[in-house]
Amino acid sequence: MVIKIDKQPIPITEIEQSAFCQTDEELASKTLEQEFNSGVRWQKLPVSYMRTSPEELEQKISAAKKKLGNKIVILGHHYQRDEVIQFADVRGDSFKLSQHAAELKDPEYIIFCGVHFMAETAYILSTQRQKVILPNLTAGCSMADMAHIDDVMDCWDDLTEILGEGSVIPVTYMNSTAAIKSLCGENGGVVCTSSNASATFDWSFERGEKILFLPDQHLGRNTAVTKGVNLNEMIIWNPFKPLGGNSIEAIKNSKMILWQGHCSVHTRFTVDQINAAKKSHANVSVVVHPECTLDVVESSDYVGSTEYIRQIINEGEPGTTWAVGTEISLVNRIATENPDKNVFCLDSVVCPCSTMYRIHPAYLAWVLDGLLEGVVVNQITVDENTRKYSRIALDRMLSIK
C-alpha cells in the first residue's frame, strides 16, 4: 500500500527561523507536541507520536530500524539535530549525500533526513525500484523557495532574447527545486554544491561567456570573486522587477547574473562577530561557509563547505580555537567530536536551520513504523521529463572533478 501525497509542501518562509533561537546551546528535542507550541507549521502526526518522549522515540526508531534491516538506508545531512543524525547510515553535506544516493542500488527505501530538494535529488539519482521518503513534508528550504520555476523561466526567456542562445550557462546550487535543475540540464547547464562550485565555474566559463547563478547570490558572488570576476561585472536579478531590475546594457556587460536569494542561517553572521571573536580569543581561527556575505568571507581565515569545515577543524592542532560561521547543530557536533579544541559558533544567538530542524524524531519513527506495516508515507517523486533533465545536470556535477 502506498499513500500518495498530492498537495505541495507548505511554502517555506523565514518566519519560523527564530522559533527555536536561544542564547544558550541547549537544543535538546522535546515532544513534538511541545515543539508545536512554538508556533511552527509542520506536518501533523497522530497524537500518539506527538506526545511520545524523545527517549521513547529513540527506542522505537532503534527497534524499527533493526527489523527493517537492509531494506532501508537513512541519509542524514550534517545540519540535522543530534537525536536524528544518530540513526543516519551515511552523514554528509548535500554533495556527499548526492554521490551516495547515486551509488545506492540495494536498499528498497531511501529515507532522507534533510530537506525537500535533497529528497528530490535522491529520487532523481536512485533506481526505478527504489522509493525515497522525506519524514516531514514541510522540511523545505527558504533559499530554494526564493527561485520559483515560473520566475526563473521568465528570467531565462529575457536573457535569451537579449543575449542570444548559448552565451549564458545556467548554474544552480544544489539548494534548488528539481524544476530548476531540469531547466539547467535542458539548457547546457549544471548543478553545483559549495564543495565543487569553483570547479563548476571553470566548467561553465569554458562553455559560455556568462553564468546565471541560482538561487544563492552569496555563494555565486564569493565563488566568482575567487575566479577573478570583478564586482562591477556582477548583477543581481530581482524576479519582482522588469529585467530583474537591470538595464539591457548592464546585462550585456555582466559576467555573473546572480539570482536574488540567500540562506537565512548564513546571512546572520557578521564582521562584527568576527572582530568580537578575535578580540576575545587570542590566535582564534575563523572558518565560515561560502553562503555567508562577501565581507564576512573576506574577513575570515578559512572558507568552505560543511565537509571542509569539519575536516579543517578535525585536522587542527590540539589546543587551537575555532570560531565557526555555519549551522549550530553542526558546530555543536564538531565541538563534541573535538574535545581537545575550543570550537564555538560566531553567533551567540543559537539558531538552528528551521527547515532542517523540522525532521523531529517523531517523524522518523512514524515513517519507519509505516514501513513495518507495508505503508509508504511521504514518498517523493518528480515527473519523468523533470527527472530526465535534472539527471543530466546532476550527472554533469558528479563528473566535474
**CA-closest candidate to residue 187, choices 203, 202, 165:** 165
Q: Does the pLDDT of residue 300 top 70, yes or no?
A: yes
Q: Kindly report, residue by residue over 269-297, the tens digit of the pLDDT.
A: 999 999 999 999 999 999 999 999 999 99
Calculate the CA 265 to chain-centre distance: 11
Q: Which is more confidently placed, 1 or 304?
A: 304
Is residue 56 very low, low, confident or very high in pLDDT (cuts 50, 70, 90)? Answer: very high
Task: Select the highest-mean-pLDDT range: 28-42, 198-212, 344-358.
Answer: 198-212
Give the DSSP per-residue string, 184-241.
HHHTT-EEE-TTTHHHHHHHHHTT-SEEEEES-HHHHHHHHHHTT--GGGEEEE-TTS
User: Which residues are CB-contacts of 95 (< 8 A; sequence separation ≥ 6)?
Assistant: 174, 193, 194, 195, 196, 305, 307
Residue 117: count of CB within 10 angstroms of its CB: 25
pLDDT for the residue numbered 1: 41
Q: How far apart are the first and last CA of the chain?
A: 42
User: Which residues are CB-contacts of 163 (< 8 A; sequence separation ≥ 6)?
Assistant: 210, 251, 252
Q: Which is more confidently placed, 332 or 356?
A: 332
Residue 130: count of CB within 10 angstroms of its CB: 18
Q: Kindly report, residue by residue over 39-55, the tens digit of the pLDDT.
A: 677 888 999 998 999 89
Is residue 107 very low, low, confident or very high in pLDDT (cuts 50, 70, 90)? Answer: very high
The conformation of residue 2, written as its DSSP 8-state character, comes to B
User: Which residues are CB-contacts of 28 (< 8 A; sequence separation ≥ 6)?
Assistant: 54, 83
Contact criterion met (CB below 8 Å) for 191 and 174: yes
Q: Which is more confidently placed, 186 or 24?
A: 186
pLDDT for the residue numbered 302: 98
Beta bridge partners of 112: 75
Q: Does the pLDDT of residue 262 top 80, yes or no?
A: yes
Q: Does the pLDDT of residue 68 top 80, yes or no?
A: yes
Q: Does the pLDDT of residue 237 top 50, yes or no?
A: yes
pLDDT for the residue numbered 37: 75
**pTM of the model as a whole:** 0.85
C-alpha cell at 315: 585536522
Average pLDDT, stretch 320-344? Answer: 93
Rounded CA separation 113/378 (Å): 12
Residue 314: count of CB within 10 angstroms of its CB: 11
Residue 155: count of CB within 10 angstroms of its CB: 22
pLDDT for the residue numbered 100: 83
Calculate the CA 358 to chain-centre distance: 13
Rounded CA separation 198/192 (Å): 9
Average pLDDT, stretch 321-348? Answer: 92
Average pLDDT, stretch 108-137? Answer: 91
With pLDDT > 70 as the criterion, what percentage of the chain qualifies? Answer: 91
The residue with cell 526564493 is: 146
For residue 253, give the H/E element and its range.
helix 248-253
Domains within the chain, CATH numbers bracketed: 15-142+354-385 (3.40.50.10800), 147-261 (3.40.50), 266-345 (3.40.50.10800)
Q: How far is CA 313 from CA 302, 304, 317, 337, 359, in A?
A: 10, 12, 8, 10, 27
pLDDT for the residue numbered 92: 84
Average pLDDT, stretch 198-222? Answer: 97
Q: How far is CA 162 from CA 168, 233, 247, in A?
A: 11, 17, 11
The conformation of residue 114, written as its DSSP 8-state character, comes to S
Helix (H, G, I), strand (E, B) or coil at 132: strand
With pLDDT > 90 as the criterion, what percentage of the chain qualifies? Answer: 69
pLDDT for the residue numbered 245: 98
pLDDT for the residue numbered 102: 79
Q: Does the pLDDT of residue 144 top 80, yes or no?
A: yes
pLDDT for the residue numbered 30: 78
Q: Kindly report, residue by residue over 155-178, the tens digit of the pLDDT.
A: 999 999 999 988 999 999 999 999
Tell me the chain's radius of gyration from C-alpha atoms: 21
